[in-house]
Amino acid sequence: MRKILFIALLSISAAVLPQCRAYAAVAAASEIISVEAEGFAPIKDGGRNAAREEARRSAYRDALEKALGAYVDGITKVENYQVISDKVFSQTQGIVKDFDVVREWEDDDGILYISALCKVSSAALDGVLGPAVIDALGNPRIMVLIDERIGDKQSFLSTAEGEVQRAFEKAGYLLVDSSQADVLKNIDLASARASGDDETMREIARTFRADVIITGKAYGSSFAQQKVSGVNIFGVRSTVQLKAVLANSAYQLGSETFEEKTKGVSAEDGAIKGFQAAAPRAAKSIVHKVAYALISGSAGGIPGRTVNVKIMGISFSDAKKLRELLSGVDGVTGVYQREYRSKNLVLDVVSDKTAEDIASILDEHGVEIEDITSATVEGRGIGGD
C-alpha cells in the first residue's frame, strides 16, 4: 500500500459534484473516514503519465468530497448541502491519507480512469472545514449563559460557561461577552441563568443582537468522602447540560449532556475539575450541531434563509411600500410583518439571500443601514428621523 499525504486546494462547483457511488464509513476509534474515490483525465498527445497525475488529483478531490459528506452526515442530516458547498470547496484545503489504487483503465474516448481506496482524518477535516463553515454562515453571534451550581448553591465562578465560550471562539464564532453584558444593559444575568426561562434567555440574546443562545446547567454534587493522610477527599459527580436555540425563532439546534466523576479536597474543588473536563466535550459537540443545523436548512430561521429586518423611523405608507418591494425580489419566498409600532417596522424575510444581500437591496431603496449580523438587518427608514 502506498501512503501519500496530499494537500489539495479545492475549487469545485456544487453543480458538478459527482455522484457518490462508493461506500463511506466513519471509524470512531481511529477518527478515519474511508471512501472509494474515482478520478479521470484525458490522455493528450499520448501523454499517459501526465493524464495519470491529473486523474490522481481528480481522485483526491473526489475523496475529499465524499469524506466531507460522510463527516457532515455523521453529525446531523444535511438536507441542503449545496447551500455552502461552493464556499467550502473554494476555500478549503483537505488532507487525504492512504491513497491505494485499486484499478486503472482507459476507455474508448482516450480517458484515463483511476479507482482508489482512500482514508481521510476526520480531525484534520474538521480543522479545515470549520472556518469555511463559519464564514459561509456569515459569522453568527453566540451568547452563552449557563447556570452553575455546586450542591444546592449557585456558583459564580462560571467555569463551565468559560469553557463553552472558548470552544465557540476557537471555532471562529463571534461571541457576546456575558461578563460585560450585565453592566452594559443593567441586566441581572445571574438571576436569568438561575431562572432557566427560555423566553427570558432569548430576549437577552436579542437585546445583544446574538443569533444563537447557548443555555444550560452545570451542577456538581459530592457522593463520597474519605480521609487520606489526614486530608478529606471528596468524590464529586459533575454534569454539564447544554442547549443551543435560535434567538429569533426558538428553534432548538441541538443539545448535549456530559458527566464526569472527579476527586477534590472539597466539593467545590472536585466540581470545578469536573466542569473543566465535561464542558469542553459538551461544547465541542454542540459547536458541530449548531454549525451543521444552520447549514442543513433544517433550522427554519437560519442565517441566509430567514432574515429579521428592523427599520426605525419609517411611516406606515413607506413600510407598506417596503414590504411590497421585498416581496417582489427574486428569490424571496415570504415577507412577514411581525410588528409596526411607533414608526418602527419589524419583518421576517424568507429567501435564499443572506442578510448582507437584503441590506444591499434596502440600501439601494433609501434605507440607511445601521447594523448587520448573520441573521438580522437594522436600519433607519426612508425619510427617517
Domain edges within the chain = 6-136, 138-296, 306-380
- What is the CATH code for 6-136? 3.10.129
Residue for grid cell 465560550: 165
What's the CA dihedral at 220, 221, 226, 231 to 10 degrees?
50
- What is the CATH code for 138-296? 3.40.50.10610
Average pLDDT over residues 334-359: 82
Q: Is the dihedral of CA 52, 53, 58, 64 positive or negative?
A: positive
DSSP annotation of 2 reads -
Residue among 246, 189, 194 at smallest CA distance from 216: 194
pLDDT above 90 for 33: no
d(C-alpha 142, C-alpha 341), whole Å: 28
Exposed / middle / buried, residue 355 (Cβ in 10 Å: 0-12, 13-18, 19+): buried
Higher per-residue confidence, 354 vs 298: 354
**Residue 208: which residues within 8 A CB-CB, separation 6 or more?**
141, 143, 176, 181, 185
End-to-end CA separation in angstroms for the chain = 72
Q: Which helix (H) or strand (E) holds 333?
A: strand 332-341
Per residue in 257-290, pLDDT (tens digit) is 999 999 999 999 999 999 999 999 999 888 877 8
Give residue 127's pLDDT: 58
Residue for grid cell 433609501: 366
For 162, 269, 294, the CA distances from 157, given in Å and listed in that order, are: 9, 11, 31
Question: Which CATH topology does 306-380 take?
Answer: Alpha-Beta Plaits (3.30.70)
Average pLDDT over residues 90-103: 71
Half-sphere exposure of 222 (CA within 13 A, CB side): 17
What's the CA dihedral at 23, 28, 30, 32 to 10 degrees?
30
d(C-alpha 96, C-alpha 120), whole Å: 5
Which segments within 153-211 are labelled E, that is strand? Answer: 153-154, 174-175
**Residue 353: which residues within 8 A CB-CB, separation 6 or more?**
304, 307, 329, 331, 332
Per residue in 133-171, pLDDT (tens digit) is 666 566 678 899 999 999 888 887 889 999 999 988 887
139-169: string of b/e by CB count within 10 Å (b at 16+)? ebbbbbbbbbbbeeeebeebbbbbbbbebbe
d(C-alpha 380, C-alpha 262), whole Å: 54
Q: Which of 4-8, 138-142, 377-381 has maximum average pLDDT?
A: 377-381
d(C-alpha 295, C-alpha 302), whole Å: 8
State if pTM tops 0.85: no
Neighbours of 223 (CB within 10 A): 12
d(C-alpha 95, C-alpha 5), whole Å: 7
